[in-house]
Amino acid sequence: MTNNNNAKTLTPDICVIGAGSGGLSVAAAAAAFGVDVVLIEKGKMGGDCLNYGCVPSKAIIAAGKAAATFRSSEKFGVGAHEPEIDFSRVNDHVHDVIATIAPHDSVERFEGLGVNVIQGAGEFVSADTVKVGEQLIKARRYVVATGSSAAVPPIPGIENTPYLTNENLFELTERPEHLIIIGAGPIGMEMAQAHRRLGSRVTVIEALRPLAVTDPDHAAQVIRKMEAEGVEILANTKVNAVERTDNGVKVSIKVDDEAEGTVEGTHLLIAAGRAPNVTSLGLEAAGIEFTRKVSRQMMACAQPTVRFMRLVMSQVVRSSPMLQVHMHLWSSVPSCSGCQSTTTASPCLQ
């Protein structure tokens, strides 16, 4: 691992910013071809997928599926009964799975592959230079693979109300008595099903249609199944405000722009979409114009000083006068091996 206090400028062929599933795939593949690679990561190796997304979500889904099997075994001639669930042991299971996979994404493994790993925050200081601490990197090509984080909507009262996102949901060692989820996309729905199967009461609030990006017929099957299991799904319901209560949280809602009401619970999970991690990257200094809106487009940018730059993140990057922009589908980066969903809601939490 490179010492950030080393003032010598590094000149690798490729510099990858972000050691999540995308960045690690690029770094490993490039190193396998003997390419000089620098990999920068300011947080945990493995990024969102290993630590807060695909891996822990599928682990808790698997626990929920095991619990559901006890309740539905009668059709096989096996006496069905309500399982006894120790939520702290469920949490242990989730973190055991993370710990099992972590060595494959570790600094040690990637240094063993020949990758120069620098732990710290990378920032462009010019069109062809990135700085990490005091260390400068002038790479021939850059890969920005910083991923995304939970987008927290500006709901009145949210700043004074305790809430969860996928980054701290998997730290719970006690089962939520009543989990309220804002957002009925893939993350919200799969966590709703898992927690309901593990014994929590669950209410999902969605401003539009649940699983709106999914085929309507397929989404309807998932919704029917989840409601049959006891998940309460409030579609076409806007959140007007949230507030802390003595027992947890209260959410003020309006259904179909008409009837108003409240939902009270013990825990609140925000699963209302994702926002690209572009803060503090210094993209402006690199001459890159961008938006913070998430999209399914990935774009490659080239300019004379940077022969090739790819942004492996869900965001829109617009061309500046200095940039020539081309649409690019990042098909060479495989999905995370941990994304083996056991629910019909979503294959991945990223």
Determine whether domain 158-272 maps to CATH 3.40.50.720.
no
CB of 34 closer than 8 Å to CB of 51: no
Question: Is the pLDDT score of 310 beyond 80?
Answer: no
Give residue 258's pLDDT. 84
**Total residue count of the chain as it appears in this document:** 350
315 or 9, higher pLDDT: 9
Sign of CA dihedral 100, 105, 107, 112: positive
Q: Specify the range with the lowest mean pLDDT, choosing from 142-146, 203-207, 289-293, 316-320.
A: 316-320
Cα 119 to Cα 50, 198, 281: the distances in Å are 17, 37, 15
Give per-residue pLDDT as tens, 338-347: 333 333 333 3
CB of 154 closer than 8 Å to CB of 180: no
The pLDDT-based confidence of 69 (bands split at 50, 70, 90) is: very high
Q: Specify the range with the lowest mean pLDDT, choosing from 70-84, 222-236, 280-294, 329-343.
A: 329-343
Sign of CA dihedral 262, 263, 266, 267: negative
CB of 315 closer than 8 Å to CB of 276: yes
The pLDDT-based confidence of 293 (bands split at 50, 70, 90) is: low
Give residue 111's pLDDT. 98
- Taking residue 264's Cβ as centre, other Cβ atoms within 10 Å add up to 14
Secondary-structure class of domain 10-150+274-350 per CATH: alpha beta
Q: Closest Cα to residue 17, out of 283, 327, 275?
A: 283
The pLDDT-based confidence of 300 (bands split at 50, 70, 90) is: very low
Q: Specify the range with the lowest mean pLDDT, choosing from 135-139, 186-190, 295-299, 325-329.
A: 325-329
Sign of CA dihedral 23, 25, 29, 32: positive
The pLDDT-based confidence of 17 (bands split at 50, 70, 90) is: very high
The pLDDT-based confidence of 335 (bands split at 50, 70, 90) is: very low
The span from the CA of 140 to the CA of 32, in Å, is 18
The pLDDT-based confidence of 3 (bands split at 50, 70, 90) is: low
Question: Is the pLDDT score of 211 beyond 50?
Answer: yes
Give residue 297's pLDDT. 37
Q: Specify the range with the lowest mean pLDDT, choosing from 19-28, 270-279, 331-340.
A: 331-340
Give per-residue pLDDT as tens, 82-137: 999 999 999 999 999 999 999 999 999 999 999 999 999 999 999 999 999 999 99
Give per-residue pLDDT as tens, 222-278: 999 999 999 999 999 999 999 999 999 999 999 988 889 999 999 999 999 999 998
Give residue 343's pLDDT. 32
Q: Specify the range with the lowest mean pLDDT, choosing from 125-129, 301-305, 321-325.
A: 321-325
Return residue ranges of the chain for CATH 3.50.50.60: 10-150+274-350, 158-272
Average pLDDT over residues 26-53: 97
